[in-house]
Structure 1
């Protein structure tokens, strides 16, 4: 998460590159290995896909400004990248039903995600956050437990309904096409 808009070396807005395009590309590259066994993919997501921190409007994908060139709000940009990641998880499951693809919000975890923001704000968030070990527990569970249903979104260990926008199959298909074009540049 960055307070100011930054681009990757390939010219892609950095939140989008890290939180959406990189997981998509990695999952795509691992498909041959995943298909050999009981393939399972766990995408790390966030409840931020529903609404931006300090924002009230629902999050939607803005196809006219995927690279955030018309105004940059770090929290909205992060939320859009997480919605894109979630749409992509669902689309991966639809396109590859032989796999088990899930997305998980591990909880608010003490990481370096906010390292570029004012220390006081980060310290306040860290005070109520989970340790990295606790944050990893649902990921390990979803990656290894029996009976995990593909195409689900989990809030830690519990399957929950994600935002209405995350179930828009037309948006997911369009995003898939855009993502394939963008991920090829990474």
Structure 2
């Protein structure tokens, strides 16, 4: 079983299809596997890549770093995006809609992990709000250009949601869709809830918009900055990581393989719409993906949360 099983042999340099003419958006693209995803996609000559990120200085530094690695002529644009802020999300979507008449690949990569309790400005748990609600609203606002692209000849619109095996730590759906109940749980339970939501969202998006290919994934256990705060605050995790990390953790380039394969490596016909994938390209049975009732509940709850804020 994962993580020791292997999927399709995949190397980004040879496994990614030509991307000429395609427009791509990657959230959380200024570091970690988001940055690596942009780098590898840029090597295949897309028309444009939007790098969604909160901090301009970090984004511009990341773009310069990517361009220095043999892709200086690729159009990579900083897209200001704070997923806890509905106005920021609306502004980001408007920027894309005003500049691009197509969007072929949307990688919902950004996220936070096991942070202390808190709420977004619109009142959602900060982990569920950042990892799920913000991405839901961004996708919703980008639907016009996604649908326009999907209507074109030989279209291949893909929406790839970064989830995690942490979905196994999620509570039941009634807790996930109750901010009061969810905020009373632990940081890891709330993180699990947000990752289960990523899986449910991808599956429900596939049900409602079958013209797109929408999948979720676990990237593997990655050696990245995301582990910082949670590792230091949990001695068991800190020392457990030190003991088993060399066996279980992969580097950032390898950690990006699964979402690169799903976004641009696999043929459209090779992917199961709505499915959940472990590395690399292995579709797995997942209760959150297969249960249409919980997907519908989460979707309708999220719509209500967004509507209550006027979006």
Smaller-chain TM-score bracket? 0.7 to 0.9
User: Paired residue for 1:131?
Assistant: 251
Matched, 1:173 2:296: yes
Q: Equivalences for 1:75-114 in 2 at 5 Å? A: 75-114=188-227
Matched residue of 2:228: which SS? coil
- After TM superposition, give the deviation of residue 14 of structure 1 in Å: 0.7
Q: Note if contact 1:15-1:77 (Cα within 8 Å) is conserved in structure 2.
A: yes
Q: Which runs of 5+ in 1 are unaligned?
A: 53-57
Structure with greater Cα Rg:
2
Structure 1 residues 149 and 70, CA gap change in structure 2 (3 angstroms): closer
The alignment's C-alpha RMSD in Å is: 2.3
Distance in 2, matches of 1:170 and 1:91, equals: 9
User: Paired residue for 2:178?
Assistant: 65
Distance in 2, matches of 1:103 and 1:70, equals: 24
Structure 1 residues 116 and 150, CA gap change in structure 2 (3 angstroms): same
Q: What TM-score, normalized to structure 1?
A: 0.84
- After TM superposition, give the deviation of residue 11 of structure 1 in Å: 2.0
User: Paired residue for 2:122?
Assistant: 10
Distance in 1, matches of 2:254 and 2:210, equals: 30
Q: Note if contact 1:4-1:72 (Cα within 8 Å) is conserved in structure 2.
A: no
Matched, 1:24 2:149: no
Structure 1 residues 69 and 141, CA gap change in structure 2 (3 angstroms): closer
* Alignment length (residue pairs): 179
Q: What TM-score, normalized to structure 2?
A: 0.52
**Bigger shift: residues 21-30 or 60-69:** 60-69
Deviations 1:145-170 (A, max 9, x none): 213231111012211111x2442222
Q: After the TM superposition, list the runs of 4 or more consecutive aligned residues in structure 1 that deviate by more than 6 angstroms.
A: none
- After TM superposition, give the deviation of residue 60 of structure 1 in Å: 1.8
Deviations 1:115-138 (A, max 9, x none): 323525347437332222111111
Distance in 1, matches of 2:306 and 2:272, equals: 27
Q: Pick from 253, 266, 276: which aligns with 1:153?
A: 276
Q: Note if contact 1:61-1:83 (Cα within 8 Å) is conserved in structure 2.
A: no
Structure 1 residues 100 and 70, CA gap change in structure 2 (3 angstroms): closer
Structure 1 residues 74 and 153, CA gap change in structure 2 (3 angstroms): same
- After TM superposition, give the deviation of residue 101 of structure 1 in Å: 0.4
